[in-house]
Amino acid sequence: MAETTVTHTGIPRPEGLRGVAADWSSDQRAFKNVSWGKAMMWIFLLSDTFIFGCFLLSYMTARMSTKVPWPNPSEVFALHIGGQNIPLILIAIMTFVLISSSGTMAMAVNFGYRRDRRKTAILMLLTAVLGATFVGMQAFEWTKLISEGVRPWGNPWGAAQFGSSFFMITGFHGTHVTFGVIFLLIIARKVWRGDYDTGRRGFFTSRKGNYESVEIMGLYWHFVDLVWVFIFAFFYLW
């Protein structure tokens, strides 16, 4: 039998890991005030973290194990401007745009807490515009590299794994940003119409007077921005 102790309430409490499990299962504060929407978003982000982590670990393994020279990112991702090749200029602009969108999203969540419908909607639309700009620049980057001969199975500058790593990692992240832009527009429209003030029924509408969907959207968007920081560091700067 498992060892137990008697608490100050006279109720026996299991020892060891069973006691830890009993404490969490009986806690009335840990998850009592967390909505299903927010909890599910955190679970989704956790699972997505594992996926992106596996992608980046696979990329680092492929790069360190290949005997063929790896292309120099400063040369591959350079733009010819004014008669000179400027390394990583497009990537730097993309990073600035996406990080700026994280700031506008944070302000949108702040005004959502204040029930300021107009400013919340405008800032979410601005965030969507910045996200769409990022995707557009990423599409330009893809087009440029494809025209230069980069393919998932090879590239003209060295290791064949470069192409597959590039399209897999940036494509998966770009898909996340694209879906984020779509949902930003949906939530912004609902905020602008006043759905969260009137409690209008429909998808992504929470309780009357509750702008929680804006916060949940913010969690997703900040995650997408954070992932890009790691992609920028490991893929473009290494």
The tens digit of pLDDT for each residue in 47-69 reads 999 999 999 999 999 999 988 88
Q: Which is it for the CA torsion 220, 222, 228, 229, positive or negative?
A: negative
| DSSP 8-state assignment for residue 207 | S
The tens digit of pLDDT for each residue in 92-146 reads 999 999 999 999 999 999 999 888 999 999 999 999 999 999 999 999 999 999 9
SS3 88: coil
Cα torsion for 220, 226, 227, 230, to the nearest 10°? 180
| DSSP 8-state assignment for residue 1 | -
pTM of the model: 0.82
Domain boundaries of the chain, sorted by first residue? 38-236
- Mean pLDDT, all residues of the chain: 86
pLDDT at 11 exceeding the cut of 60: no
Fold of 38-236: Four Helix Bundle (Hemerythrin (Met), subunit A) (1.20.120)
